[in-house]
Structure 1
Amino acid sequence: MSRPEDTLPPDLFYNDTESRKYTTSSRIQKIQSSMTHRALSLLSLRSPSLILDVGCGSGLSGEILSQTADEGTPGGPHIWIGFDISSSMLGVALEKEVEGDLFLADAGQGVPFRPGTFDAAISISAIQWLCNAESSEESPAGRLSRFFGGLYASLRRGGRAVCQFYPKNDEQKKMVSQAAVKAGFGAGLLEDDMGTKNAKVYLVLTVGGGDLDGDITGVVRGMDGVDVMDARRKAARKRGEEQKGSKQWILRKKDQMEKKGRVVKASSKYTGRKRRVQF
């Protein structure tokens, strides 16, 4: 069975007929509700917040964001703004009179909001669409870079985002997560029901600032099967262990030169040791 994103671009796939079919399906409503609540639990919001809904569609997730804490939405009701590439999906949301503000926009071209606008962001079943390029002038890497770069800028320092998506394979999963880390996020991949047909992948993201400082480990601590990728921590560790001119750096360079067939001086206990200044 072919995946929707492999057949048509999202703005064409979700036409009027498909948008209404998607919105009225009780099965899809149940799945969407479950994934939205899961995303909210990972955001750990304790008070009403301004949330960006990326690929908001017909507002199924937005309706949950608008619910109060008594209705099962932690910290709610939240104020939310959503954008989607499908005008048909947004048309259904307008007919339903959802409480969020709606925008027609392509996530692959960036996130059209001022820096630091949002406290948090969610995206349900949308990011995998960015892994396809619609023309030879674009590329999946470029679309992902523009999206995550814009998302990072739009979130306040210390903010979080959770993106649920359906990767086609491990390579696509890696491409998405690496694009997020390159944009500056601390990132962790969490997979529910791993190895089953009901598997759900969540990309949990943090923005440096406040108590988080881009560290994702506090967000996903205690969760099984989390693959943590934190660009800041990796960079700091690399700087500490392999600073240019250090013994580790020199030994690695020597090893590289030897593999290329170059002649290098033998290493000793003095390799990498700084000399005293002579007068």
Structure 2
Amino acid sequence: MSRPEDNLPPDLYYNDTESRKYTTSSRVQSIQATMTNRALELLDLTTSSFILDIGCGSGLSGEILSEAEPPHTWIGVDISPSMLAVALDREVDGDLLLGDMGQGLPFRAGSFDAAISISAIQWLCNEDEKGVDPKTRLSRFFDSLYACLKRDGKAVCQFYPRDDKQRDMICSAAIKAGFGAGLLEDDPETKNKKLYLVLTVGGEGNKDITGVVQGMDGVDVFDNRKKLMEKAKKDAKKGTKAWIMKKKEQERKKGKIVKADSKYTGRKRGIKF
């Protein structure tokens, strides 16, 4: 079964027909409700809060937020006009904004107590058009998300990575933005496994986010920060191939002429007698 992300960009894939089909599917509604309730459990909000729903679609997750105990106020942002039109027809409680999260979230610093995103951020990894850089889009998204959350705020993003490389790219972007980040995987041994990226802004959570999800039944907990930081440290070491390639790319962006890359780039020279 093909992934929606492999077909078209989200604003084109979710046209009027697909948006209504998605929203009226009882299977989709059930899955969406389960994942949104799980995200709320991980947010662990004890009072009514102001929440950003990223990739809100037709408002299925927003309904859960409005009906939660305690109930929450929310704003939803989505790139699909058709999805938002369905949300308006359904008269959801939240305010809605048309926007591309890959261009950054257009909110004032410290606007939200928390944020959720259900089945959305993997779209940022697609190269839908020539010149689109997934790493740049992920950086813009996580940088702006970090900024618009209050200090000690938290975000939970459920997503479907294509592979481990894509998963690590997403986690790395979140960590570089300043988040404390941990991964929780529900039902890891089944085909229905779900991955949640739990993010914190400031406070103790930045030191060890795994404490938020440890001890839960039926889940595996990962914390990629140490591995990713060690890799970044290794790559940044002067004289390594990664360091040379990075420097050459920086020079190219400045318009300078740089020797073409080859299989010999960064290779250590043998000892000459």
TM over 0.5, shorter chain = yes
Query: What's the counterpart of residue 15 of structure 1?
Result: 15
1:23-42 per-residue CA deviation (whole Å, 9 max, x = no partner) reads 00000000000000000000
Are the counterparts in 1 of residues 183 and 223 from structure 2 also a CA contact under 8 Å? yes
CA displacement at 1:84 relative to structure 2: 0.1
Q: Where does 1:122-161 land on structure 2 (aligned, <5 Å)?
A: 122-161=116-155
Q: State how far apart, in whole Å, the 2-side matches of 1:218 and 1:260 are.
A: 47
Aligned pair 1:184/2:178, yes or no?
yes
Q: State the TM-score, normalizing by the size of structure 1.
A: 0.79
Query: What's the counterpart of residue 188 of structure 2?
Result: 194
1:100-126 per-residue CA deviation (whole Å, 9 max, x = no partner) reads 000000011111101111000000000
- In structure 2, give the amino acid aligned to 1:217: T
1:129-152 per-residue CA deviation (whole Å, 9 max, x = no partner) reads 111022222211111111111101
Aligned residue pairs total 232
- In structure 1, give the amino acid aligned to 2:85: G
Q: State the TM-score, normalizing by the size of structure 2.
A: 0.80
Partner SS, residue 113 of structure 2: strand
Q: State how far apart, in whole Å, the 2-side matches of 1:212 and 1:122 are.
A: 17
Are the counterparts in 1 of residues 57 and 87 from structure 2 also a CA contact under 8 Å? yes
The CA RMSD measured in Å over matched residues stands at 2.0
Are the counterparts in 2 of residues 185 and 230 from structure 1 also a CA contact under 8 Å? no
Q: State how far apart, in whole Å, the 2-side matches of 1:101 and 1:167 are.
A: 28
CA displacement at 1:260 relative to structure 2: 7.7
Query: What's the counterpart of residue 214 of structure 2?
Result: 221
Q: Where does 1:62-101 land on structure 2 (aligned, <5 Å)?
A: 62-69=62-69, 76-101=70-95
Query: What's the counterpart of residue 29 of structure 2?
Result: 29
Are the counterparts in 1 of residues 33 and 64 from structure 2 also a CA contact under 8 Å? yes
1:200-240 per-residue CA deviation (whole Å, 9 max, x = no partner) reads 1100101113x535531331232442111447xx69xx9xx
Higher mean alpha-carbon deviation, 128-137 vs 197-206, is at 128-137
Q: State how far apart, in whole Å, the 1-side matches of 2:165 and 2:108 are.
A: 32
Are the counterparts in 2 of residues 189 and 202 from structure 1 also a CA contact under 8 Å? yes
Uncovered stretches (5+) of structure 2, i.e. residues with no partner? 234-267
Are the counterparts in 2 of residues 186 and 229 from structure 1 also a CA contact under 8 Å? no
1:55-84 per-residue CA deviation (whole Å, 9 max, x = no partner) reads 000000000000142xxxxxx210000000
Are the counterparts in 1 of residues 16 and 82 from structure 2 also a CA contact under 8 Å? yes
Q: State how far apart, in whole Å, the 2-side matches of 1:39 and 1:58 are.
A: 18
Structure-2 change in CA distance of 1:186 and 1:230 (3 Å): farther
Structure-2 change in CA distance of 1:173 and 1:212 (3 Å): closer
- In structure 2, give the amino acid aligned to 1:227: F
Structure-2 change in CA distance of 1:216 and 1:28 (3 Å): same
Q: State how far apart, in whole Å, the 1-side matches of 2:43 and 2:49 are.
A: 11
Percent identity among equivalent residues? 68
Partner SS, residue 196 of structure 2: strand
Which is higher, the Rg of structure 1 or of structure 2? 1
Query: What's the counterpart of residue 245 of structure 2?
Result: none
Q: State how far apart, in whole Å, the 1-side matches of 2:206 and 2:179 are.
A: 10
Structure-2 change in CA distance of 1:214 and 1:155 (3 Å): farther
Partner SS, residue 225 of structure 1: strand
- In structure 1, give the amino acid aligned to 2:211: G
Q: State how far apart, in whole Å, the 1-side matches of 2:197 and 2:7 are.
A: 25
